[in-house]
Amino acid sequence: MKGITVLGSTGSIGVNTLDVISRHPDKYGVKALTANTNVDILLEQCVRHMPEFAVMVDENSASLLEKKLKNKAPDITVLSGIDGLLKVAEDDAVDYVMAAIVGAAGLLPTLGAARAGKRVLLANKEALVMSGKLFMDTIQENEAELLPIDSEHNAIFQCMPSDFSKGMDNVGVKKILLTASGGPFRTTPLEQLAAMTPDQACAHPNWVMGRKISVDSATMMNKGLEVIEACWLFHTRPEFIQVVIHPQSVIHSLVEYSDGSVLAQLGNPDMRTPIAYGLAWPERIDAGVERLNLFDIARLDFVKPDEQRFPCLRLAREAMQQGGTSSAILNAANEIAVDEFLHKRLRFTDIARVIETVLEKVAHHEATSLDVILNDDTLAREFARAATIDLAA
Ligand code: NAD
Ligand code: MG
């Protein structure tokens, strides 16, 4: 029986994780659930899954949850703040940690889980983008296990030889083909992009996801972050990763070998597949996912991404090539720009402008420590807010 902490249990990945877990009560037990402010959903999840701990980052929300749990489930310990998150990421009774908080807020508990030698199921790509080498070193030094949950990286993990940590060159891998749906604006006339609204940007054609990653999919910054994520996970560089637009989202990514073989992982676009894979690895369990019917799909399409339409893709590659804290600066600027866009203070096409300005203005450093990374993250957020105001003027 494996004890599981779900960081960000009220989000899209969190809910899917609990769905898979509840199909296998003999294998997995929920030790802790966490959320930011959504008391009602966390309350309902607590009553259903009876964890030992429930953490709400927001203190008022935590008090409210505690009050509501008093007569429904008084044995659940309610914690708050970042200390609460760290406690349940590192607790001895926890075997696996699903890292599904969105954005930089997930960095510290995800690193905590790695430091405590857990199996880390990594959905929170921003954590790896920010802290790349530090995170990978922490995993290795503490003999933690890292299972990618992002569907593309999960696909690549499935198609790679098991000794891929020796480096792609040494295991006969030529390149990674990272698929992308192209998002909701793949064919929108370029001159209309500036007027796109948050709801239009969040209407993803194939996946139902949180609002931040949905906007990232519309700008394709999501794919940019995923290029960086793949570089760290699979010990490679951006020039060995080709982004392929594949609008059906059936092939989740591919790996090309030196003998000409190309291995792919296919499946219906449903995050429960990579979640179940990460939980059960190296075994396989039922995920509740509808089986793939190739006759229903009938055809699969592939096109090259257009960098004029998707400048964020270029910005992410450049940041990774620059190295050091550049990826953390890119990520922080993106988080602010997306938030400003979701609050209708920034136009869709200005998201990339804000990020480019911040990358020009904020000097990057060697990412030698968490402090250095977090300093540049803070600075980048300040510059991104200023750039937003400038663009609105
Ligand atoms: P979401 O917005 O649906 O959920 C986010 C979760 O994080 C919620 O439980 C929320 O309470 C919590 N949270 C938000 N802000 C927080 C804060 N400041 N402190 C602590 N907790 C906070 O997001 P999602 O779509 O589930 O995505 C989660 C992560 O998984 C993201 O990093 C995303 O890039 C990644 N991911 C998601 C999908 C998907 O299909 N949704 C696919 C691949 C990767
Ligand atoms: Mg993905």
Question: Each residue of 304-315: pLDDT tens digit?
Answer: 999 899 999 999
Using CA atoms, how far apart are residues 168 and 153, in angstroms rounded to an integer? 15
Ligand 1 atom showing the smallest separation from residue 37 Cα? 11
For 35, phi and psi rounded to 5 degrees?
A: -150, 170
pLDDT of residue 393: 80
145 CA distance to ligand 1 middle (Å): 21
Structural domain spans, the chain: 2-148, 156-297, 323-392
pTM score over 0.75: yes
pLDDT of residue 272: 98
The full DSSP string for 50-116 is: --SEEEESSHHHHHHHHHHHHHH-TTSEEEEHHHHHHHHHH-TT--EEEE---SGGGHHHHHHHHHT
Instruction: Confirm or reject CATH 1.10.3720.10 for domain 323-392, answering yes or no.
Output: no
Task: Give pLDDT < 70 ranges for the chain.
Answer: none
Residue nearest (by alpha carbon) to ligand 1 atom 9: 8
Residue nearest (by alpha carbon) to ligand 1 atom 36: 123
300, 251 Cβ separation under 8 angstroms: yes
Ligand 1 atom showing the smallest separation from residue 125 Cα? 32
Using CA atoms, how far apart are residues 229 and 216, in angstroms rounded to an integer? 14
pLDDT of residue 240: 98
- The CATH architecture that domain 2-148 belongs to is 3-Layer(aba) Sandwich (3.40)
352, 340 Cβ separation under 8 angstroms: no
H or E segment and range at residue 179: strand 173-180
Ligand 1 atom showing the smallest separation from residue 225 Cα? 34
- Going by C-alpha positions, the residue among 320, 161, 312 that lies closest to residue 229 is 320
216 CA distance to ligand 2 middle (Å): 10
DSSP letter, residue 186: S
